[in-house]
Amino acid sequence: MVEKEWKTEPDEKTWTDKKTGFRCHIKRHLELGHLCGYVGVPRDHPLWGRGYGDLYDANVDIRVHGGITFSDTIKQFGEDIWWFGFDCAHAVDISPYSKADIEMSGATYRNMRYVRKEVRCLAEQLDHRLKWLVIMGPADRKIQEEDDD
């Protein structure tokens, strides 16, 4: 790890993923200093408006660092994008502003490069999931049945 790498990298980054067209965002947590990654899906995406818990309940297998821990709109981007996100503040992660984490052996700081890679991976999975929903696999039937209530 580069010594105090978090002091030289940006605190925020936003872009549109070229492969999927989804909006992507990385932001540093103000209090703890770790990075969080987000992918925004448009209103016509089948998972728009779904809570991240709904994904797990419907057996939607999306793999990203520490799992999805956020789903909602983000005020600065408006109401037409629904964001799914993850954070890098798990047991094996360093949150730079937490003295306990810095001193914990075996923990790793998840830098901007790492989080960007994970965000791209999440975008691809959400895009793949969109295509899979068209086929209506078993987990999708559960989501569809909930919609029909």
Confidence at residue 113, expressed as pLDDT on a 0 to 100 scale: 96
Give the tens place of pLDDT for each residue, 56-71. 666 677 889 988 999 9
With a CB cutoff of 8 Å and minimum separation 6, the contacts of 139 are 58, 59, 60
pTM of the model: 0.82
Q: DSSP for 61-86? A: ----TT---EEEEEGGGEEEEEEEEE
Give the 3-state DSSP-derived string for 36-61, with helices as H, strands as E and coil as C: EEEEEEECCCCCCCCCHHHHHHCCCC
Mean pLDDT (the chain) is 82
Amino acid identity of residue 141, one-letter, is R
- Rounded Cα–Cα distance for residues 136 and 130 (Å): 10
- Are 122 and 62 spatial neighbours (Cβ–Cβ below 8 Å)? yes
pLDDT more than 70, % of the chain: 76
Give the tens place of pLDDT for each residue, 99-134. 665 556 678 889 999 999 999 999 999 887 666 555
- Most distant CA pair in the chain: distance in Å? 54
* Domain boundaries, given as residue ranges, for the chain: 5-144
